[in-house]
Structure 1
Amino acid sequence: MRSYTLHLPREARPGEAHDLDRAQLVPDGFSGAAFAFSVLWFLYHRLWLAAAIVLAGLCALAALGHGLGLAPLSGALVSLLAALLIGMEACSLRRWTLARRGWPARDAVVAGSADEAEAKAMTRWLDPSRTTELRAGPSFPAGRAAEPVIGLFPAQGGR
């Protein structure tokens, strides 16, 4: 089972179907395609800034390895580790880019496949009994506000 986040424009209203054709489901976890194709994966998903940052990072890593005189096997190991990092963080960068463009995560579902996740997310979005829950966002326990603040801040709030 894998978790997926549903991303819709800010102006989308729960219970309304007209924005669902533009909805995007982003899986959570490791992306094998991003691991294998790195910059091309970012370009395919139209993540221009992330693609530029990843390309610059990979070029800097290659230049640093060449400048330090790393052996070919060591350079390949460093490149493999960089590709692993890209594969692990690619979906998070996609979520970040969508939120930056005004498409925040509106819901999260757990499903066995992308098709099942899409069906669950659409059903939950169109359910009129959940509209206030989806609009309000995640809820946190009410008891947290009464606890004393520990740390450098003398009081709760933004004084």
Structure 2
Amino acid sequence: MRTYTLHLDRDALAGEVHGLERAHLVPDGFSWTAFAYGPLWFLYHRLWLSALGVLALLAATAYLGHAAALNPVAGFVVALLVQLLVGLEASSLRRWTYARRGRPVRDAVLAGSLEEAEMKAAARWLDGTAPARPTPAPYANAPSRTGEAAIGMFPFSEGRR
């Protein structure tokens, strides 16, 4: 089972079909195709800034390996580790790009395949069980407790000394 995040427009309302027309599901976890193809995977998904960043990272790695006169085997291992990093962070970069474009994460589903995730996400969205709007940060408007004097990590043990 894999977790998929649902990305919709900010103004999409739960229960409306219109919001699902431009929805994107992003699988969480390691991306073998991003590991194998690097910047081409990002260009395929229209992640222009991420593609440029990955291309710059790979070029800088190759240049620094050449400038440091690394052994070819060591250079290959370093390049392989950079590609491993790209494969690990590809989904996060895709989520970041969608959030920057005004399509934040609106829901997450657990499914065995992309098709099953699409069915579950659409059913939850149309039933209205998915969150309608992103919830605000929990500590933004939290009331302050000025009446309690708490010093240190354990305020309840202060009076037992």
Match of 1:83, as an amino acid? Answer: Q
Pair 1:69–1:109, CA change in 2 (3 A): same
Does structure 1 conserve the Cα–Cα contact (< 8 Å) formed by 2:38 and 2:86? yes
Q: Are positions 1:79 and 2:110 aligned together?
A: no
Residue 52 of structure 2 aligns to a residue in which SS?
A: helix
TM-score, normalised with respect to structure 1: 0.84
Does structure 2 conserve the Cα–Cα contact (< 8 Å) formed by 1:20 and 1:122? yes
Aligned-residue RMSD, C-alpha: 2.6
Q: Which residue of 1 aligns with 2:53?
A: 53
Does structure 1 conserve the Cα–Cα contact (< 8 Å) formed by 2:13 and 2:132? no
Pair 1:43–1:136, CA change in 2 (3 A): closer
Residue 15 of structure 2 aligns to a residue in which SS?
A: coil
- Bigger fraction of residues in helix: 1
Does structure 1 conserve the Cα–Cα contact (< 8 Å) formed by 2:106 and 2:134? no
Larger Rg: 2
Q: Percent identity?
A: 59
Q: Which residue of 2 aligns with 1:3?
A: 3
Match of 2:133, as an amino acid? Answer: R
Q: Are positions 1:35 and 2:27 aligned together?
A: no
Structure 1, residues 119-149: CA drift from partner, whole Å, max 9, x if none? 0000000113x26x43253896xxxx87969
Aligned pairs (5 A) from 1:116-155 = 116-128=116-128, 130=129, 133-137=131-135
TM-score, normalised with respect to structure 2: 0.83
Q: Determine the C-alpha separation between the residues in 2 that align with 1:94 and 1:138.
A: 22
Q: Are positions 1:44 and 2:37 aligned together?
A: no
Q: How many residues align?
A: 147
